[in-house]
A and B are shown apart, each in its own frame.
Chain A
Amino acid sequence: MKIIAFAEQRNNQFKKTAFEVVRAARTIADQLGAECNALVIGGNVSSIASQLGAYGASKVFVVDDAQLEYYSTTAYAKIVAEIARAESADMLFFPASAMGKDFAPRVAAKLDAGLAADCTALRVENGTVIATRPVYAGKAFVEVAVRSAIKLFTLRPNVFSAGTPAGSTAVVEKKESALGEADFGAVVKEIKIAGGKKDVAEADIIVSGGRGLKAPENFSMVEELAASLGAAVGASRAVVDAGWRPHDEQVGQTGKTVSPSLYIAVAISGAVQHLAGMSSSKYIVAINKDKDAPIFSIADYGIVGDAFEVVPTLTAELKKTLNR
């Protein structure tokens, strides 16, 4: 049996989720007695490929082609499907990142395969991989089995542990791409990165603000607290709909579903659709004036108090403690 893990890189650097996906593939491969290999696609990525050995890949297939420096859903899907066929892979693992979510279903269609999307846990039962995935934005979870010859999984970033890298380096095997113009049906021409902004979907700590902050300018308080923790800034739907914050910060059912190790909710009451998106955070802190706010029902630690008073004090205390 063979598993191939797609290791996502940007600018010739692996994303953290690449290591998580390779490690998860290794863990499952060990339980199934399977082979675990990885796959890297990009322009000038050969030099980084061997790093994946330290996370459990035996072999790393590399498709290194200047045309692939920028992501293309059609070209990436073609390459992965071709390699999966050529290597007789039984399972493919991807990150449930913006990239993985975008092209893994295309690979599934090419291989006539089922795809368990956005998995938060995997286990093996009687030789079958059982995946746990959230539905209704985390209001419930389903356990699923993939019923097709080749099985695909996308894994939610930040949930699976990459483990500690151990010394081994992987064998790197170059693969030819043989791509023509027709394979680039959709292609990225430019990437705009907001300067140093952390994304809530990838952050280990998130500080979110809600309507209780009263005005958009008061979000500076949330931003300062986030900066003291190296955290991403999140927002409730109410403040995004009011135009105070960009929608890419929205946490909840019509925003992002997140699972950081620490989630600090500032002046957020906790509507059902918000709680769904963040309740799987490992630790939740709520700061809210209203002791009956639903957010306290899922918070590990709460301060029933005025955010305008508590938050600046917390920022100062953290700066002192963490030396930032």
Chain B
Amino acid sequence: MKILVFVNHVPDTETKVKVGADGKTIDPAGINYMLSPYDEFAVEEGLKLREKFTGEAVVVSLGGEANKETLRKALAMGCDKAVLLKNASSHDSFAVARSLADFAKELSPDIILLGKQSIDYDNGQIGSLVAEMLGMPSISVVVKLEINDGAVVAEREIEGGHEIVHAKLPAVVMAQKGLNQPRYPSLKGIMDAKRKVIEERAVAPVASKIEVLTMRKPPAKNPGKIVGTDASAVPELVRLLHEEAKVI
């Protein structure tokens, strides 16, 4: 089975966001980056499929030199090959999807795996866009995946429940938390990953379809009211919710 996994390199979840000098992007100073958590589930699922069906798991990331750190993590987890599609980091879903789809087409994978969204711009569009560009079916927010003889049965999360979706390979599957428990890279995996060559390819820029005009922090909240320090404050809290906030 030829498995292709898309990964993104994003500010870690502990990051406190500051708006950069351009007023449109974040200030990168002091930020630690990580493999986007949903993409990590995708890597794990790719490795499980390779273990079951044999074949090759190729991990791809679009962006700058820094993305190599995330690619190395995926290699350390066990991916066979890593490719960096070199491009000034873009947050435009359509442009990113176009570059990834063009690369995928050349590789003709049986399955493309990626996270349900990247935790930086939270667009959640790449998987569906790439699938449509390649004429493949897609399943998003997947918490359970079974593949037999090219037939895909996946469980995806919807409001208050799950949908069981059927499709055929080749297909695009977008991982949700709960799909699996990502493995920790072994020491041997980490050492091997350091020696592996990350293939680099220049990618022509694609025009954006979304223009970011401004970025701002959410309005700061005034510190609220401490209603009390034990259960005796409950009636006052209920009164405030009812009469002042009018939410109950």
- Flag the segment in A26-34, A164-172, A196-204 that touches B: A196-204
Closest to A114 in B: B209
For B210, the chain A residues whose CB sits under 8 A away are 114-116, 144-147
Q: Is B56 part of the contact surface with A, judged by Cβ < 8 Å?
A: no
Q: How many Å lie between the Cα of A250 and that of B143 in the bound state? A: 14
Q: Are B213 and A143 in contact (CB under 8 A)?
A: yes
What mask results when residues 112 to 129 of chain B are scored 1 for a CB within 8 Å of chain A, else 0?
000000011111111111
Q: Is B215 part of the contact surface with A, judged by Cβ < 8 Å?
A: yes
Q: How many Å lie between the Cα of A118 and that of B208 in the bound state? A: 18
Q: Are A202 and B11 in contact (CB under 8 A)?
A: no
Q: Are B141 and A109 in contact (CB under 8 A)?
A: no
Given A187-B166, A301-B241, A318-B248, do A136 and B129 touch, yes or no (CB 8 Å)? no
For B140, the chain A residues whose CB sits under 8 A away are 73, 98, 101-102
Q: Are B240 and A301 in contact (CB under 8 A)?
A: yes
Given A144-B210, A146-B209, do A185 and B168 touch, yes or no (CB 8 Å)? yes
Closest to A96 in B: B124
Closest to A253 in B: B13
Q: Are B128 and A106 in contact (CB under 8 A)?
A: yes
Closest to A289 in B: B229
Q: Is B191 part of the contact surface with A, judged by Cβ < 8 Å?
A: no
Q: Are A136 and B124 in contact (CB under 8 A)?
A: no
Q: Is B104 part of the contact surface with A, judged by Cβ < 8 Å?
A: no
Among A99, A109, A148, A318, chain B packs the most CB atoms within 10 A around the CB of A109
For B120, the chain A residues whose CB sits under 8 A away are 135-136
Q: Are A136 and B119 in contact (CB under 8 A)?
A: yes
Closest to A117 in B: B123
Q: Closest CB of chain B to A225's CB: distance in Å?
A: 11
Q: Is A6 part of the contact surface with B, judged by Cβ < 8 Å?
A: no
Q: Closest CB of chain B to A283's CB: distance in Å?
A: 5
Q: Are B227 and A302 in contact (CB under 8 A)?
A: yes
A-B contact count (CB 8 A): 282
Q: Are A115 and B160 in contact (CB under 8 A)?
A: no
Closest to A322 in B: B248
For B214, the chain A residues whose CB sits under 8 A away are 142-143
Q: Are A303 and B224 in contact (CB under 8 A)?
A: no
Q: Is A247 part of the contact surface with B, judged by Cβ < 8 Å?
A: yes
Q: Is B237 part of the contact surface with A, judged by Cβ < 8 Å?
A: yes
Within 8 A of B (CB), among A189-211: 189-194, 197-199, 201-202, 205
Closest to A291 in B: B226
Given A98-B158, A142-B214, A303-B237, do A186 and B247 touch, yes or no (CB 8 Å)? no
For B126, the chain A residues whose CB sits under 8 A away are 105
- Flag the segment in B57-65, B74-82, B130-138 that touches A: B130-138
Interface size on B, residues (CB 8 A): 85
For A201, the chain B residues whose CB sits under 8 A away are 159
Given A109-B133, A313-B231, do A194 and B161 touch, yes or no (CB 8 Å)? yes
Q: Is B188 part of the contact surface with A, judged by Cβ < 8 Å?
A: no
For B233, the chain A residues whose CB sits under 8 A away are 303, 305, 310
For B123, the chain A residues whose CB sits under 8 A away are 117-118
Q: Are A109 and B129 in contact (CB under 8 A)?
A: yes
Q: Are A109 and B160 in contact (CB under 8 A)?
A: no
Q: Are B217 and A190 in contact (CB under 8 A)?
A: no
Q: Is B162 part of the contact surface with A, judged by Cβ < 8 Å?
A: yes
Q: Are B227 and A303 in contact (CB under 8 A)?
A: yes
Q: Is B30 part of the contact surface with A, judged by Cβ < 8 Å?
A: no
Q: How many Å lie between the Cα of A177 and that of B25 in the bound state? A: 43
Q: Is A279 part of the contact surface with B, judged by Cβ < 8 Å?
A: yes
Q: How many Å lie between the Cα of A66 and that of B86 in the bound state? A: 46
Closest to A139 in B: B17
Q: Are B225 and A300 in contact (CB under 8 A)?
A: yes
Q: Are A73 and B137 in contact (CB under 8 A)?
A: yes
Q: Are B167 and A105 in contact (CB under 8 A)?
A: no
Q: Is A9 part of the contact surface with B, judged by Cβ < 8 Å?
A: no
Q: Are B224 and A71 in contact (CB under 8 A)?
A: no
Q: In the complex, which of the residues B136, B218, B227, B230 contacts A141, with contact meaning CB atoms closer than 8 Å?
A: B218
Closest to A321 in B: B238
Q: In the complex, which of the residues B131, B139, B230 contacts A306, with contact meaning CB atoms closer than 8 Å?
A: B230
For A285, the chain B residues whose CB sits under 8 A away are 237, 241
Leading 5 A-B pairs by shortest Cβ distance: A114-B209, A185-B137, A186-B137, A109-B132, A105-B128
Q: Assuming A98-B158, A139-B16, A248-B178, what are 13 further A-B pairs, CB within 8 angstroms?
A: A98-B156, A101-B141, A102-B141, A118-B122, A135-B215, A186-B166, A191-B163, A193-B161, A300-B224, A301-B224, A301-B227, A303-B226, A305-B230
Some 5 contacts from A to B, beta carbons below 8 A apart, are: A98-B141, A102-B128, A118-B123, A130-B213, A191-B163
